[in-house]
Amino acid sequence: MNIVLMGLPGTGKGTQAVILAEKFSIPHIATGDIFRENIEKATEMGRKAAQYIKAGELVPDEITCAMIEKRLEEPDTDNGFLLDGFPRTLVQAAALDSILENLGKELQGVICLQAPEEVLVERLSGRRVCSNCGTNYHIRFSPPEEGGICDLCGGELMQRDDDREETVRRRLQVNRGKTLELESYYREKDLLQQVDASPDPKTVTSKLLAIMERF
């Protein structure tokens, strides 16, 4: 099953993608995660991407498409994959079409998570991540037992640079128009499924599972 999970930052894409990928035993490929890994390891690509990510801008298509092409050639994607955060532009969507065509594959569906802007700003600017194990918390919706400390490993909780409110608003602004374009692109191909991501995560998961079962 080859699926794209789309949606503005804060719609819960990442959280849902982990659950769905595990349920269907397919790799979860998140461009944001791959960039962050490369930044941490100080690879050349990580160095190029870092400046854009910090500013809440998109990393150039050329860098992003080359990275995803390499990833989709890995054998663990033979039985399917769940793309999270890619494509984010029409150029990337066209690149994905040609990468898949070359690999003799096609998309079964594109799911787009949707929620009002204020919900997204509150979710993102309240997010905290464990600097040691990467577990996500939220200062209001899922706070740790002890302020600033990870329940699982005792690591220090941090705010991602790009989760600061002004950067969050910039990220939403940058992504909004592009997301609408992508929705039209995939609607025309009859691949698009839209899902309301405002309810609690479990409710959203049930809706997504029901859609994926039909693919």
88 binds ligand AMP (CB under 6 A): yes
Q: Please say which residue, 2 or 31, places its beta carbon nearer to ligand AMP.
A: 31
Query: What is the smallest separation between the CB atom of 17 and ligand AMP, expressed in angstroms?
Result: 10
Q: Is 163 a residue that touches ligand AMP (CB under 6 A)?
A: no
d(CA 104, CA 52): 33
Nearest distance in Å: CB 60, ligand AMP: 7
- Catalytic annotation, pick one of 23, 48, 160, 207: 160
Residue 212 CA to chain centroid, in angstroms?
17
Phi, psi of 91 (to 5 degrees): -60, -40
Strands 127-130 and 109-114: unpaired
Contact residue for ligand AMP among 7, 9, 12, 109 (CB under 6 A): 9
Which of 2, 31, 38, 179 binds ligand AMP (CB under 6 A)? It is 31
Among 8, 17, 28, 32, binds ligand AMP (CB under 6 A): 32
Active site residue 127: yes
Nearer Cβ to ligand AMP (46/144): 46
- Indicate whether 59 belongs to the interface with ligand AMP (CB under 6 A): yes
Q: Which H or E run contains 206?
A: helix 201-214
Give residue 47's identity as a one-letter amino acid code: R
- Asked whether the beta carbons of 20 and 84 are under 8 A apart, the reply is no
Instruction: Give me the residues paired with residue 5 across strands.
Output: 84, 111
Q: How far apart are CA 24 and CA 31, in angstroms?
A: 20
Sequence-distant (≥ 6) Cβ neighbours of residue 146 within 8 angstroms: none
For position 53 contacting ligand AMP by CB under 6 A, the verdict is: yes
Distance CA(178)–CA(215), nearest Å, equals 25
Closer Cβ to ligand AMP, 2 or 64, answer by number: 64
Q: Which residues bind ligand AMP (CB under 6 A)?
A: 9, 31-32, 35, 52-53, 56-59, 64, 85-86, 88, 92, 162, 171
